[in-house]
Structures are given as C-alpha cells and as structure tokens.
C-alpha cells in the first residue's frame, strides 16, 4: 500500500477550513505565495497510522470558475496530477450553498472526503443530516467535524484513514443537469475524448465539457482545447435557443436545483429551529446609525490593546539590545579591529534591534485582527464601511487595511488579501503608504513639541493624520479613474455566524505573520542599516578646520571644572562630530541634493536624514541626532529639540512632517508592495509618484507660508 499521500483541503471562505488545517498539521506548516500571484500558499505535514500526509490548504473559493485569482489557483492545483484526495470542508450551518462547490469537486472524479464542519452549530439550528444519502449522492464519504475543538477532528482522522485505504474503489457522483444539458455535455465529452488530451489523463472529459459550456477562461485559454471552442459555441447556441438564457447562468441554476433536491432528501430541519444569536447581534452591529460608531470603537480598542500590551515589551527589547551592544563592547577591546567592532554593535545589533523593537506591535496587532476575523466581525466591518468607501471608488473591505496602516504599513499591505477585486486591491495597496504609520510617530513626537505651543500640539498631531487620510482617499478616487479604471464591481459579502475563536488558531495566525514580518521586513532594514553605518562613517576625516584636541586640552587645563567649561568642551566635541559627519558619504550626498530640497525648506542635514529614512522612518530622528552631534538622540531628547529650534522655523518643522508623511515609504514597505503586486514597474512608479506628490505639496506649503510670513520666525 502507498505510504505517502497528497491531500488538497478545499472549501468556501469562512467554512472553518483553517481550523481543520491547524488541527491536523499543528506547527508543521509552510506559508508562502503561489508563483506569479498574490494568493497565499499554505501546506503542512502530519502522520496518520504510519502514513505520511502532505496537506495543501487551497484558497477559499465558492466555485471552480475563473473569476478571481483564488479560483484560478484552485482550478490549476486540482487539475494538475498529484492530488490523491480532496478533503472538502463544508459549513454545515448553510449546507445548500456550501455544496455548490462540492458538485464541481465531485465532477473532477478525484477521490473526495466531505467534512461537515461546525456540526455543533448546525445541530443547534435544528439541522439533521442523513449521511448515507449524502454519500450516495456525491459518491464520497461524509463525516461531521468541529474544527475549533481539540477532539473535533477525531472522527475525521478515523474516516480519513479508512478512505485512504479504499482510494481505488471510490464512488461516482449522481449528478444530472437534465436531458438537454446532459446531451450537450455528452457531445462535447465525446469530442474531447477523441482528441486524447493530456489533461484528460486524470480528469474526466465531462468536467472540461462543462467548463467549456460555462465559458470558463481557465479551460478556454488552454491551447489543447482550441479545436473544441467552436463545437462548444454550437452547443451553447442550441441551449440558448431552447431556453433563452446563457449556459453559464443556466448551469448554475441547474446545480442549485440539483442541490435543492439532494438537500430535501438528506437534510431535515426540526421544529426547534430558532432565530440565531448572530442575527440578534447584527441588529445592533450592522445598524445604519450604530454600525459606524461601534466600528470606530472596536478599532480604537484594537489599537489600545496592541500598543498597551506591546509598549512594555518594546522597552524590554530595546534594553536587551542595548545590553547586548554594551556586552560586546565590554568583551571586545576598542583597539582590536575597531571598525568591525563598531559595525557589529552599531550596524548589525542596532539594525536588528530597530526591527525587532516593533515585533510586539506586529504580533499583538495580528492577534487582535485574528480575533476580529475568526469571530466573524471583520466581515461586518467591511459591510458597515462599504457605502462610505464606494464614494471614493473603493469597497468596504478596503477600509480595514487602511486602518491597520496607522500601525504598520507592512502588515496592512498583507491584509489587502481580503479584497477580492484585483483593481480595488491594487488601489488600496498604492494608497496605503499615505496612512501615517507608527514609524512616523517618533518624527512627530520630536518636531511638534519643538515648534508648536502646548495648546496646539494635539491639534497638529490630529491635522497631520487627517492630511494623510484625505490625501489617500483623493488619490484612490484618481487611481480608480485612471490606472485602475474599470466597471464598479459588485462586492458580495458573506456575514458568517459569530464564533468563539480558539487560542491555538489565534497563536498560529500571530506566529505566521510575525515570522513573515521578521523574515521579509527585518532583513531589508538590517541590510540598509549596515549600509547607512558605512555611509555615516566613511570616508573618515583626519584634517579638521580647528585643532579640536588642542582647544579641548586648553579648556581642560583648568583644575576646577565648571558648568561653562563642560558646555564649552561639549560644544567643541559637537562641532568636531558635525564636521566629521559632513565629510562622510551621507554628508556629501546631503550637500549634493541640497539644491533640490532647498525650495521645500530643507538644508543638507534634513536632506541626509530624509534619504536615510528610506531604510525606516525612525532613522530620520536618529540620523538628525548624529548630524547634530547629540549621540544617542531620540524623540525624548530635549537637547536635539533645542538644536532644531535654533536652526529651523515652525514652518520648516511642519514641512518636515508633511514631507515624511507623503514621501516614499520605507524599503520594507516597498518590498512588500513589490511582492503583493508582483510588479517592479508599479513599485518604482509608486515610489516616484509619492516623492513627486510630497515634493509638490511641501513646495507649495513652504513657498506660500514664506510669502505670507506664517511661522517663518526662529523660536530659539
């Protein structure tokens, strides 16, 4: 008997497929992307009675049509040789709709096992299943499951072991579309069989005949089926004349008619069925007046949960990396390979720390998102926001990633996978960098207290966020009229019943996203941090305009140290550090680009910091600290604020925030945009477009503000 099997896990979205996948594979999973598309690929392995099983979690789909990337992927996966069994997960609380996909899977004639998931919820609704009748109808064994319980897949494992032993004798489905359509299917099937196509070695001709009648693009674009397009059109014209309806619609109607008959015979509803709790909750949650305020409250609670729990952990991580750097410095003598020592402590450890310090935010944010998704609320949020977002050319599902963009753009871009419309998804991804992410907060926290009075600080913070949101929505409207032009797509949103998420599912979701963030974003920031280290260090200046050592020695000759003497020594050290930085690659680049940035109020130091912020927006603050010779400066550094007050006006301070908000996002964001859009061209266009937008807006604000003399006086 065969010892290794490949099983495809198929089902509708929100049917509990992921719970069953997690229950069977545990942590033995691999997450990636299908080549060339943005659909997530997930596979795992487990052992059952000495049988090695590879489980492929296919994207959730409602049919095997080709109206979305997910459906194309499922079609290609199932029609490619190598699948030994299809495990079809059904939401047993809505069986008639869920079985629509099952009829198409049965037509593949691949051995199948049907899991009636959420059978406990179905029982509460008063649904009773005659498993023997369902098995005869679909030609496949059927087993009830409860995927979100520890023992809920015990019967599934037993039935799976039994099914794998009898793969060669699996049954055939009892599916009929009626004499007229069955005749057309048979005519095409015979034509397909006569061609002896390679695709029909493991899939029956009947399946492809049905697909040709449905105008399925996945089949029609295959060169092998080109000779069959005209015969298929001939049958379609015949059926259209007979029924005055398109065959793809007619076939869907016939499928539902078949299922109605099957469900009527095999499924009964007891008289105890009552109105679901979910319906009662939705009276409030999706109310036209209360839905929006409740949504905003839930989003606020999500961020409160994320940042409240993450804040102490971020402090521990920062302290841990600082201790690690100090430990290395203590062990590694300063005279032994000093540049390599500095690279390790300031470049490598500092770079990794700069990434991992935000990991708690990412983990808790996705933990909260998983709660909203698994509980069923995320679908309600999209429903509530749909009307508002459509005014800007988007749909309700776009709003959730936009809100997540206030935390971090990288996971927000990943979250756009919930948007089925490719045009809406592309538009959402392209405008996401305009949302003011948490990485920009250190910049605002540094500049707002420096340039604006206390009574205006909250307003300025609110204003900068509002500017980002308004710009994003206007940009979405423009994109939907140009680059992403197309007919408005109908967004069918399923509102699944509310469910209690399982801790295991939440933790696995959090782990997958956290690992992806560290692997994809962390490596890029680490690399750029090392590059910036070299740019801030080389070439090393040896000849200074002043003999700083002699001047410091002269000041230090006084035996009694005074405050004024200490300040004078510090000023000399700062001047030397600033002169050294100006001589480095970063300083030279800043001076080279200064003429371009001067019209928006930037000098060479701000220009250098803006370029360094490409690695991560937080780098802007640390780079300014270095350039102003304040050492380990951050947003809490009062001396750095004082230096900025002395050097820049409030108008320049506002323009700095405006440019950082609208300009090119960090390289980690660009990398994830490249991966999700699968296009270098669009990624470079996004970066260039945002830079032009930021430059033009900041130019107008700075020039008009200077002309009107608004905020043009130095505070210091």
Q: What is the pLDDT of residue 271?
A: 46
Domain identity same for 20 and 132: yes
Q: What is the mean pLDDT of the chain?
A: 79
- Tell me if 88 is assigned to some domain: yes
Q: How does residue 496 score in pLDDT terms, banded at 50, 70 and 90?
A: low
pLDDT value for 10: 92
Asked if residues 362 and 408 have their Cβ atoms less than 8 Å apart, the reply is yes
Kindly report which listed range (69-78, 168-177, 561-570) carries the lowest average pLDDT score.
561-570
**238 and 259 part of one domain:** yes
More confident residue, 243 or 609: 609
The enclosing domain of 223 has a CATH number of 1.10.287.1770
Omega before 691 cis (within 30°)?
Answer: no
Q: Could you tell me where the DSSP H helices lie in 26-94?
A: 69-79
CB 108 within 8 A of CB 203: yes
Q: pLDDT tens-digit profile of 184-198?
A: 888 888 888 888 877
Q: How many CB atoms lie within 10 A of CB 157?
A: 16
Sign of the dihedral defined by the CA atoms of residues 187, 192, 194, 200, in that order: negative
Strand order in the sheet with 29-33: 29-33, 40-48, 51-57, 4-11, 85-91, 112-117, 142-144
The DSSP output letter for 518 is I
CB atoms within 10 A of CB 345: 19
Q: Using CA atoms, how far apart are residues 208 and 192, in angstroms rounded to an integer?
A: 8
Are 248 and 353 in a shared domain? Answer: no
Residue where a domain stops, chosen among 169, 204, 223: 169
State how beta strands 85-91 and 29-33 pair: unpaired
**H or E element at residue 461:** helix 454-481
353 & 230 share domain:
no
pLDDT at 323: 86
Query: Tokens 């310090």 identify what position?
Result: 357
Instruction: Compute the distance between CA of residue 674 and CA of residue 679 in angstroms, rounded to an integer.
Output: 6
Asked if 493 contacts 420 with a C-beta cutoff of 8 angstroms, the reply is no
Percent of the chain with pLDDT over 90: 13
Look at residue 702 and tell me if it is in a domain.
no
- Name the token pair of 228: 């069959």
Per-residue pLDDT of 389-445, as tens digits, reads 778 878 777 777 887 787 678 778 877 876 767 788 889 999 999 998 877 877 887
- Is the model's pLDDT at 689 over the cut of 90? yes
CB-based burial of residue 319 (10 Å sphere; 0-12 exposed, 13-18 middle, 19+ buried)? exposed
Helix (H, G, I), strand (E, B) or coil at 293: helix
The first and second tokens of residue 468, run together, are 């980002």
| Same-domain status, 148 and 201 | no
Q: At what angle do helices 523-537 and 619-627 cross, to 10 degrees?
A: 10
Q: What angle do CA 677, 681, 683 make, to 5 degrees?
A: 55
Q: Is 672 a member of any domain?
A: no
528-567 as b/e, with b when 16 or more CB fall inside 10 Å?
A: bbbebbebbbeeeeeeeeeebeebbeebeeeeeeeeeeee
In a domain, 504, yes or no: no
Look at 355-359, 444-448, 460-464, 693-697 and tell me which has the smallest mean pLDDT: 355-359
Tally Cβ neighbours within 10 Å of residue 128.
Answer: 11
- 8 Å CB contact between 426 and 484: yes
- Residue 10: give its domain's CATH number: 3.40.50.300
End-of-domain residue from the set 122, 138, 169? 169
Span 15-25, average pLDDT = 84
Residue 142 three-state SS: strand
Task: Please give the helix or strand (H or E) that residue 122 lies within, else none.
Answer: helix 119-124
Q: Looking at residue 10, what DSSP letter applies? A: E
Are residue 341 and residue 421 in the same domain, yes or no?
yes
Q: Determine the Cα–Cα distance for residues 514 and 548; give it in Å rounded to an integer.
A: 48
> Per-residue pLDDT for 487 more than 60?
no
Q: Are residues 149 and 70 part of one domain?
A: yes
Question: Does 274 map to a domain?
Answer: no
Residue 387 has pLDDT above 80, yes or no: no
SS3 40: strand
Q: Tens of pLDDT along 262-289?
A: 777 788 876 444 446 677 787 788 787 8
* Residue 97 in tokens: 């709709």
Does 322 fall in a domain? yes
Determine the Cα–Cα distance for residues 299 and 626; give it in Å rounded to an integer: 37
Does the pLDDT value for residue 37 go beyond 60?
A: no
CA 263 to each of CA 174, 176, 442, 464: distance values in angstroms, whole numbers, following the listed order: 13, 15, 59, 56
Q: Judge if the upstream peptide bond of residue 330 is cis by omega within 30 degrees of 0.
A: no
Domain count along the chain: 3
pTM here? 0.56
Helix (H) or strand (E) holding 11: strand 4-11
pLDDT tens-digit readout, 596-637: 999 999 988 889 888 878 777 767 776 676 566 433 333 343
Cβ pair 86, 159 in contact under 8 A = no
pLDDT at 662 over 90: yes
Instruction: Pick the closest to residue 69 from 59, 79, 78 (CA basis).
Output: 59
pLDDT surpasses 90 at 686? yes
Task: Tokens 């266009």: give the residue.
Answer: 685
Cβ–Cβ under 8 Å, residues 379 and 14: yes
Closest CA to 55 of 28, 36, 32, 74: 28
CA distances to 443, 545, 662, 663, 708 from 705, rounded to whole Å, are 21, 37, 18, 20, 5
Query: Which DSSP symbol is given to 490?
Result: P
* Cross-strand pairs, 142: 114
Give the structural domain span for 84.
4-169
Question: What pLDDT was estimated at residue 8?
Answer: 92
Question: 299 with 183, same domain?
Answer: no
Residue 188 lies in a domain: yes
What average pLDDT does range 359-373 have in this prediction? 77
DSSP letter assigned to residue 480: H
Q: Side-chain half-sphere of 48: how many Cα atoms within 13 Å?
A: 25
Assess whether pLDDT exceeds 60 at residue 716.
no
Indicate if 200 and 142 belong to the same structural domain.
no
Residue 392 lies in a domain: yes
Q: Which residues contact 687 (CB under 8 A, 6 or more apart)?
A: 664, 670
Per-residue exposure over 17-29, b if at least 16 CB sit within 10 Å of its own CB, e if not:
bbbbbbbbbeeeb
Q: What is the tens place of the pLDDT at every residue in 508-534?
A: 777 776 776 676 555 655 676 677 777
Given pLDDT bands bounded at 50, 70 and 90, which one contains residue 67?
A: low
| Distance of alpha carbon 551 from alpha carbon 575, whole angstroms | 12
The residue whose two tokens read 């002896």 is 196
* Alpha carbon separation from 321 to 97, 316, 514, 617, 626 (Å, rounded): 53, 9, 19, 20, 19
For the cut 80, the answer to whether the pLDDT of residue 564 exceeds it is no
Which two tokens mark 625? 């600290």
Average pLDDT over every residue of 161-170: 84
User: 169, 190, 215: which is the final residue of a domain?
Assistant: 169
Indicate if 129 and 210 belong to the same structural domain: no
Eight-state DSSP code of residue 683:
H
């Amino acid at each position: 008997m065969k010892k290794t099997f490949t099983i495809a896990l198929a089902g509708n979205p929100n049917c509990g497929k992921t719970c069953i996948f997690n229950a069977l594979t545990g942590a033995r999973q691999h997450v990636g992307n299908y080549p060339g598309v943005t659909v997530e690929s997930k596979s795992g392995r487990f052992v059952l009675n000495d049988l090695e099983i590879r489980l492929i979690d296919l994207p959730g789909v409602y049919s095997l049509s080709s109206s979305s990337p997910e459906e194309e992927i499922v079609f290609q996966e199932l029609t490619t040789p190598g699948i030994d069994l299809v495990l079809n997960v059904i939401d047993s609380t809505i069986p008639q709709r869920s079985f629509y996909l099952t009829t198409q899977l049965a037509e593949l004639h691949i051995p199948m096992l049907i899991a009636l998931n959420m059978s406990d919820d179905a029982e509460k609704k008063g649904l009773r299943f005659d498993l023997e009748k369902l098995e005869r109808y679909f030609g496949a064994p059927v087993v009830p499951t409860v995927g979100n319980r520890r023992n809920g897949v015990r019967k599934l494992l037993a039935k799976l072991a039994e099914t794998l032993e009898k793969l060669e004798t699996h049954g055939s489905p009892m599916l009929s579309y009626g004499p007229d359509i069955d005749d057309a299917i048979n005519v095409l099937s015979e034509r397909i069989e006569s061609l002896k196509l390679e695709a029909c070695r493991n899939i029956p001709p009947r399946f492809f005949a049905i697909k040709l009648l449905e105008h399925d693009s996945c089949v029609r674009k295959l060169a092998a089926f080109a000779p069959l397009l005209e015969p298929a059109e001939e049958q379609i014209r015949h059926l259209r004349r007979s029924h005055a309806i398109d065959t793809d619609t007619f076939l869907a109607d016939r499928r539902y008619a078949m299922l109605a008959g099957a469900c009527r015979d095999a499924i009964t509803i007891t008289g105890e069925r009552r109105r679901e709790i979910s319906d009662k909750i939705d009276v409030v949650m999706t109310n036209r007046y209360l839905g929006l305020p409740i949504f905003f409250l839930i989003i606020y609670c999500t961020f409160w949960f994320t940042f409240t729990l993450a804040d102490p952990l971020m402090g521990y991580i920062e302290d841990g990396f600082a201790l690690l750097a100090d430990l290395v410095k203590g062990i590694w003598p300063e005279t032994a390979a000093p540049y390599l020592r500095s690279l390790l402590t300031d470049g490598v450890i500092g770079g990794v720390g700069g990434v991992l310090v935000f990991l708690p935010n990412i983990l808790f944010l996705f933990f909260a998102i998983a709660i909203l998704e698994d509980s069923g609320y995320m679908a309600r949020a999209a429903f509530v926001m749909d009307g508002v977002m459509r005014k800007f050319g988007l749909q309700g599902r776009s709003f959730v990633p936009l809100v997540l963009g206030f935390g971090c753009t990288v996971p927000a871009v990943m979250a756009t996978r919930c948007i089925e419309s490719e045009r809406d998804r592309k538009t959402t991804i392209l405008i996401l960098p305009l949302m003011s992410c948490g990485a920009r907060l250190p910049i605002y926290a540094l500049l707002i207290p420096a340039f604006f009075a206390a009574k205006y600080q909250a307003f300025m913070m609110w204003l900068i966020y509002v500017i980002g949101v308004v710009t994003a929505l206007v940009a979405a409207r423009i994109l939907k009229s140009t680059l992403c032009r197309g007919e408005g797509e109908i967004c069918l949103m399923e509102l699944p019943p509310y469910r209690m998420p399982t801790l295991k599912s939440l933790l696995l979701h959090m782990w997958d996203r956290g690992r992806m963030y560290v692997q994809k974003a962390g490596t890029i920031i680490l690399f750029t941090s090392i590059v910036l280290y070299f740019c801030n260090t080389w070439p090393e200046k040896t000849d200074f305009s002043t003999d700083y050592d002699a001047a410091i020695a002269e000041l230090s000759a006084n035996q009694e140290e005074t405050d004024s003497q200490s300040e004078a020594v510090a000023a000399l050290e700062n001047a030397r550090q600033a002169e050294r930085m100006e001589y480095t690659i970063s300083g030279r680049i800043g001076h080279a680009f200064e003429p371009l940035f001067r019209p928006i109020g930037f000098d060479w130091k701000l220009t250098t910091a803006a370029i360094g912020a490409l690695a991560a927006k937080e780098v802007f603050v640390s780079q300014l600290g270095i350039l102003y010779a304040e050492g380990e400066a951050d947003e809490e550094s009062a001396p750095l604020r004082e230096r900025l007050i002395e050097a820049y006006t409030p108008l320049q301070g506002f323009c700095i925030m405006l440019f950082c908000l609208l300009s090119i996002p960090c390289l980690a964001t660009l990398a994830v945009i490249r991966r999700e859009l699968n296009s270098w061209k669009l990624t470079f266009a996004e970066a260039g477009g945002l830079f032009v937008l930021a430059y033009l807006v900041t130019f107008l604000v700075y020039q008009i503000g200077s002309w009107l003399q608004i905020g043009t006086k130095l505070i210091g």
